[in-house]
Structure 1
Amino acid sequence: MLRDRLDEVLRAGEAPGLHGVVALQGGRTLLEHYGTGEDASWADRLGVVEFGPDTLHDLRSVTKSVTGLLYGIALGEGLVPPPGDPLLPHFPEYPDLAADPRRAALTVEHALTMSLGLEWREDPPYDSPANAEIAMELAPDRYRFVLERPIAEPPGVRWAYSGGATALLGRLIADGTGRSLPAYAEEVLLTPLGIDRYHWITGRDGTPSAASGLRLTPRGLARIGELVLAGGVWDGRRIVPQDWLRTMLEPRLETSWDAQYGYQWYIQPVAGHHLVAGMGNGGQRLYVLPDLHLVVAVTAGNYDHPEQWRTPQAVLERVVLPAVTAPA
């Protein structure tokens, strides 16, 4: 039934650029689909790719949600500062910034909720230095670049999309654990989940991108969703502290498009169901719907397209949800 629904949506042109879908309910695979289409890894064009179960795909900003999980794991080990801690003392190389009382008010939680109150624009295309995340990647010191942005408003007042906020979290994780972000992720998250195919893109300075650098297969991405659905436990082993999951997925601020934002995760209702999600440029999505025991991972190639959201939305709302909520 789901295959027929998906074929209908694809024929109607309602899910352009779709590269892959894995939908799981209660651990059972409901739908697995791979397409063919043009792809890119950051700015590197890969040409036309025939996707399959083992093909890695950029997650883009779904990486932020994975970084949020890693922060909670590290916090549970006592390796990173709690959300209420002041932020700048953990960047001691910038005493000039810490001397500004307005910047001294920044906390780790402001980074977790993307509410730093600093000027940051990511609406230009991601191949342009006018985009703040790209400018950060080009800067000689990415962390100073983020922390010295002009102050736009007091912190904690408003959600404003910022890959720079997540970059700061990645630095805190690397400093606290004494390992690179990919090495820590492999040890505490990917390997325990049985995910052995991954790549983490680094900037030209060699720093792994905490905001958008992770590449996984759709199956691997769905497995992370299953972990969230299972309350942080996998094969009887606790991977993510339960209190962190609860804290991470608590709505805290409204986004610019009416969803709620927790700690690097989106929260919103869809068709009468509670949904938590990681979302990335081009149509990358990890949807988790706890009341339906449902996980949907979507990869797509509509990078920088103004209506890139339509493809994953069509997969979720036109294909998967009608099938799993239909009367028996």
Structure 2
Amino acid sequence: MKKIALVYLLFLGGCLKESGIKPNAPTTAPVTKADGWEISTPSSESVDESALATAYQQFFSETDLPHASSLLVVRNGKLISEAYANSSEGADELHNVMSCTKSIVSILFGIAQKQNLIGNINTPVATYFPELVPDDNAKRRITLRNCLTMQTGLAFDGGPSSRDLAETGTNSVSFIFDQPVISDTGTAFLYSDFPPHLVNAVLGKVTGQRVQDFATTALFQPLAINDFKWDATKDGLNYGAFSLFLKPRDLAKLGQLCIQNGNWKGTELIPPGWLEEATSKQVSELNYGYFFWLDPTRKAYAMRGNGGQFVLIAPEKNLVIVYTAFPYSSPELWGNTEKLISTIYSACD
């Protein structure tokens, strides 16, 4: 029987590549590939080349960001720089984007709404799975909105809980609803891998297909994202919180799609109203939308994942920054990515 890769990749620290972080000849000039990206230069897109070079010096540093694997900058819809480290495949390597997956699930939710597959976000999850949710008023009240804002009230204990989800032999929705209620639904934010998994379950229910198949036709194919992997629990449901593997240049396309209000080459893929709602403050106690982290100082928002990974989307600068890294690097190093963001953001006139 197939082993769930998550058990080994998500919770073991020995997954880092052995190759050195500094390539023999560091380069940041993007390469022309048949993947749809238009290539430009920093100066052509009003980006300070010296400041950008400083950011890449940090990227290649063995102390600041030792587990960095890619850094890409997109300005005005054009790829102006990219670099790769700790990778023999470079731009062609699939990366586990970890919790950036959550934001992509939010995008898929918006697409399902556009297709009239999902209605009111205040609908209880139990409406879709009446047979899987216990006869407990607190649990049967949990809505889609409660999931999207991480306010289900269900317990979650970080990595051990996610590992248990991966290893459970029962239905994964039942497993989540068997967790104890620790706060009133809709009142307390608890960052958890369970709510996005429930949203994925609903997506699978309303579309009548695996979430990865819905994502392929409704999102990835229009963006010419042809190579990805999405792990699943033992019952076949794609993880809603992590274990989506994408190439960095394809991850950048998702950021660019957001900055274009869900429009790609003249076709509306995501309702702009959904993006506006999903990237607006939805949680009173912190800057969080619907599986998106908000950056009000820069009037930006981000997908974020373990290892300090992020996709920063800054509409006012027409800027997308993608940074991937191997998970399980020391959280103390993640703060160094803020310096990286600041340097690149400030370099854009």
Structure 1: state its 5+ residue gaps: 37-48
- The Cα offsets for residues 167-201 of structure 1, whole Å up to 9 and x where unpaired, read as 10001001100111110001010010111121111
Q: What is the aligned-residue RMSD (CA, Å)?
A: 1.8
Q: Which runs of 5+ in 2 are unaligned?
A: 1-48
Aligned to 1:233: 263
Aligned position for 1:66? 104
Are 2:55 and 1:6 aligned? yes
**SS of structure 2 residue aligned to 1:212:** coil
Question: Which residue number corresponds to residue 23 of structure 1?
Answer: 73
Deviation at 1:211, TM superposition (A): 1.2
Query: What is the rounded CA distance, in whole Å, between the counterparts of 1:112 and 1:217 in structure 2?
Result: 25
Please report the TM-score for the alignment, with normalisation by the length of structure 1: 0.86
How far is the alpha carbon of 1:59 from its aligned partner?
0.5
SS in 2 for 1:30: strand
Q: Distance in 1 between matches of 2:72 and 2:103?
A: 18
The letter of the residue matching 1:265 is F
Determine helix, strand or coil for the equivalent of 1:260: coil
Q: CA deviation at 1:207?
A: 2.5
Q: Secondary structure at the match of 1:22?
A: strand
* Farther off after superposition, 288-297 or 27-36: 27-36
Distance in 1 (CA, whole Å) between partners of 2:262 and 2:164 is 35
Match of residue 281 from structure 1: 306
- Cα distance in 2 for partners of 1:7, 1:62 equals 22
Structure richer in strand, relative to its length: 1
The separation in 2 between residues aligned to 1:302 and 1:102, in whole angstroms, is 34
Aligned partner letter, 1:132: S
How far, CA to CA, are the matches of 1:203 and 1:234 in structure 2? 31
1:234 deviation in Å? 0.3
Cα distance in 2 for residues equivalent to 1:268 and 1:247? 15
1:321 partner amino acid:
Y
The alignment partner of 2:291 has SS state of coil
**Structure 1 residue 268 corresponds to structure 2 residue 295:** yes
Q: What's the offset of the Cα at 1:254?
A: 4.9
Determine helix, strand or coil for the equivalent of 1:262.
coil
Write the distance in 2 (CA, Å) between the matches of 1:25 and 1:254. 32
Tell me the TM-score normalised to structure 2 length.
Answer: 0.81
Pick from 231, 242, 247: which aligns with 1:217?
A: 247
Describe the superposition over 1:17-72 as per-residue Cα deviations: whole angstroms up to 9, x where unpaired.
Answer: 11001110111223211112xxxxxxxxxxxx324121111111100100000011
Corresponding residue of 1:102 = 138
* 2:46 match: none
Match for 1:261: what amino acid?
A: Y
Q: Contact 1:14–1:310 (CA<8 Å) still a contact in 2?
A: no
Distance 1:7 1:76 in 2: 39
**Aligned match for 1:135, one of 151, 154, 164:** 164
User: Does 1:115 pair with 2:151?
Assistant: yes
Alignment CA distance shift 1:102-1:278 (3 Å):
same
Q: Residue 33 of structure 1 aligns to a residue in which SS?
A: strand
Residue 91 of structure 1: which of 126, 129, 136 is its match? 129
Q: 1:217 to 1:254 in 2, by over 3 A?
A: farther
Q: 1:321 to 1:162 in 2, by over 3 A?
A: same
Structure 1 segments of 4 or more deviating over 6 A? Answer: none
Deviations 1:238-288 (A, max 9, x none): 000111111111211156xxx41111111123xx41121111111221110
Instruction: Describe the SS at the equivalent of 2:222.
Output: coil
How many residues of Structure 1 are paired with residues of Structure 2 in the alignment? 298
- 1:6: how far off? 3.0
Distance in 2 separating the partners of 1:113 and 1:206: 25
Q: C-alpha distance in 2, partners of 1:22/1:12?
A: 18
Code of the aligned partner of 2:295: Q
Whether contact under 8 Å (1:14, 1:314) holds in the other structure is no
> Which residue identity lines up with residue 112 of structure 1 in the other structure?
L
- Distance, in Å, in 1 between the alignment partners of 2:190 and 2:284 is 10
Q: Is the 8 A contact 2:52 2:347 kept in 1?
A: no
Instruction: Measure the CA separation in 2 of the matches of 1:6 and 1:85.
Output: 45
In the TM superposition, what whole-angstrom CA distance separates every residue of 1:116-156 from its partner, at most 9, and x where no partner exists?
A: 0111121xxx4xxxx21111111222111211211111111
* CA drift at 1:323: 1.5
Amino acid at match of 2:78: R
- In 2, Cα distance between the equivalents of 1:261 and 1:248? 9
